[in-house]
A = this chain, B = another copy of it.
Amino acid sequence: MAADGAGSENAKAPKTERGRRTLRKLLDAAALEFGERGFHEASIAGVTSRGGLSIGTFYVYFDSKEAIFRALVEDMGRLTRAWIGDRIKGAPDRLTAERVGVTAYIEFVRQHKNLHRIVTEAHSVAPDAYRAYYETFAEAYRRNLEEAAARGEISDGDHEERAWALIGIGSFLGWRYAIWSDDVDIAEIGAAAGDLIENGLAPRPPFAPRKAKP
């Protein structure tokens, strides 16, 4: 569920294999504890007991409660990007990728509700980590949109702003259809969202129907 947190300054680098295993235990336990109880309700003792470790061990690897939370948010980012990336990989063009992407994202949230809660809470707990999380997304998104525009797959426009708007769509649909209620058919949501993203709200001239893919 969690990557190894390596490459981040949030966790202290273990020097032995045993240390690496312990660090992993902590991150996995923290994902559970924070996900279920929320940052403020969660306790370090809760994390360590879930991991079968002692409190002291926690502070061997992290400087503070906030530090492991940040590490978790970063993990989450890697995980999410990998998941979406995987599903989108084969898309023939950007509009298709968007359709697939929205669906995949909501699916992802449904399967990782805790993680989604953690990221959202980062908003107030670690605003910079939250921002970094979304800026990483937005940046990649923007690049994709620009390249697609260059290929003529989408119209021209302000791609950075579009990126943020699209992230907003995914995020709120995630809350509405994955967290608050998850009984609506995902394919339907994806289709509707894809249509909005592709064609907007404007009425369709009957003589010039849009097609998802030529």
Name A's B-contacting residues (CB within 8 A).
38-40, 94-95, 98, 117, 120-121, 123-124, 131, 134, 138, 145, 152-155, 157-158, 161-162, 164-165, 167-173, 176-177, 180, 188-189, 192-193, 195-205, 207-208, 210
Contact = CB atoms under 8 A, between A and B. Distances in A.
A154 B192 contact: no
Considering residues A123, A152, A161, A171, which has the most beta carbons from chain B within 10 angstroms of its beta carbon? A161
Contacts of A138: 176
A7 to B, nearest CB: 24
Nearest to A102: B165
Contacts of A158: 188, 192
Given A155-B201, A200-B199, A169 B165 contact: yes
A205 B202 contact: no
Nearest to A161: B192
Given A123-B120, A164-B173, A171-B172, A199 B202 contact: yes
Contact of A124 (B38, B134, B200, B207): B38
A192 B157 contact: yes
B203 A155 contact: yes
A127 to B, nearest CB: 9
A95 B201 contact: yes
Contacts of A193: 161, 165
A205 B195 CA distance: 17
